[in-house]
Amino acid sequence: MIPFLDLRPAYDELQLEMDAALQRVMKSGWYVLGPELEAFETEFSAFCGADHCVGVGNGLDALKLVLQAMDIGSGDEVIVPAFTFIATWLAVSAVGARPVAVDCRLDSANIDAEKIEAAITSRTRAIIPVHMYGHPADMNAISSIADRHDIRVIEDAAQAHGATYRGKCAGHLADAAVFSFYPAKNLGACGDGGAVVTDDVDVAERLSKLRNYGSIEKYSHDLCGANSRLDELQAAILRAKLQRLPEWNARRGKVAARYLETVGDIDGLEMPVPSDQVRPSWHLFVIRHPDRDGLKERLTSHNIETGIHYPVPPYASGAYENEKHCAASYPIAERLSQTVLSLPIGPHMPEKDIGTVISAIKKECQNESLAAC
């Protein structure tokens, strides 16, 4: 079986560095809010080109806490993509605000900037564009709209570690950006983890309190905070992996280029179309096919594992059924949810596996064409 994702080769490549990081933490006896986290925050903020980084427990907490740090809550509205992982919506709901969905673009699966302004009301406080699959959204257009209406922009960069937009790194394209370090991410921990990156010193200071029971000084609690801290072990591992991130992203890009060059012109198969303004992180390589489920099943018969990101848009989930969203309002999101299929991709994907995936897609799509004749 060609796995959709195999995390073991990353450890094989970085075993010495990761083992040394773990031993360093264990020997230090300091496991929470210590020097490894402080060093990672400094290194990751510098990597993104931002002034501040605040490590937290996971990506969802990063979203919730940055909204709290910006005083966004009950009665407020936040514009979100109609098509995204549900965490983007859940964070907005968790602080008492209302997620307002805007449909997406077919070529990138990102929020359609041209449709945002129509969704803004007097209650709109922020826009959360998601860099879907590692392709940065049209941040200039989004920021221009936000500036006109004096609202915040928060990047959901959970899939875009190291991606760039007009030469600037994801994480430094808005008022703040949130990252997830879930193990499957381009920069993944050995467990859950997350961070917020920002140039806003006030937001960073509030986040540092909010993640730690509302406190910087022990037993002095200035805010109603949470317990959401990126621990020392995960921070040390992420420091080791951060050194390889540009190289690993480049390897992902080579796999993506092979797919685009070899199966990009097959009839009925729609490919991701990166803008000239972006360099994707290629967290996922997502094609579209009218018989997605059938193609997935046929690739499985070739021992190729694939994924679907995402089959159920947030507005169609049980979590939001009481809001009675109309699927007809989001035709692109509907089409994406029914047609997207994620192919195996990663920095350690063997050349023979890439070739096998390409051959299987060509064979199955050729069989489709013959059957249609």
User: Long-range contacts: 318-325, Cβ < 8 Å, 24+?
Assistant: 319/86, 319/89, 319/90, 319/93, 320/89, 320/99, 325/101
Cα–Cα distance measured from residue 200 to residue 65, given in angstroms and rounded to the nearest whole number = 14
Give residue 322's pLDDT. 86
The structure tokens listed for 170 are 């994801």
Query: In order of start, what are the domains of the chain with their CATH numbers?
Result: 8-242 (3.40.640.10), 245-372 (3.90.1150.10)
Tally of CA atoms within 13 A in the half-sphere of 54 that contains its CB: 27
Q: 3-state DSSP call for residue 22?
A: helix
Give residue 368's pLDDT. 64
DSSP 246-285: HHHHHHHHHHHHHHHHHHTT-TT-BPP---TTEE---S-E
Handedness of CA 145, 286, 313, 331 (dihedral sign): positive
Mean pLDDT by 10 residues, the chain (373 residues): 96 97 97 97 98 98 98 98 98 98 96 98 98 98 98 98 98 98 98 98 98 92 94 98 98 98 93 93 97 96 98 96 86 98 98 97 78 43
The structure tokens listed for 98 are 């209302």
pTM of the predicted model, to two decimals?
0.96
Cβ neighbours of 369 (radius 10 Å): 11
Question: 125-154 burial, b if ≥16 CB within 10 A, otherwise e?
Answer: bbbbbbbbbbbbbbbeebbebbeeeebbbb
The single residue listed with the structure tokens 């945002």 is 116
Give residue 370's pLDDT. 42
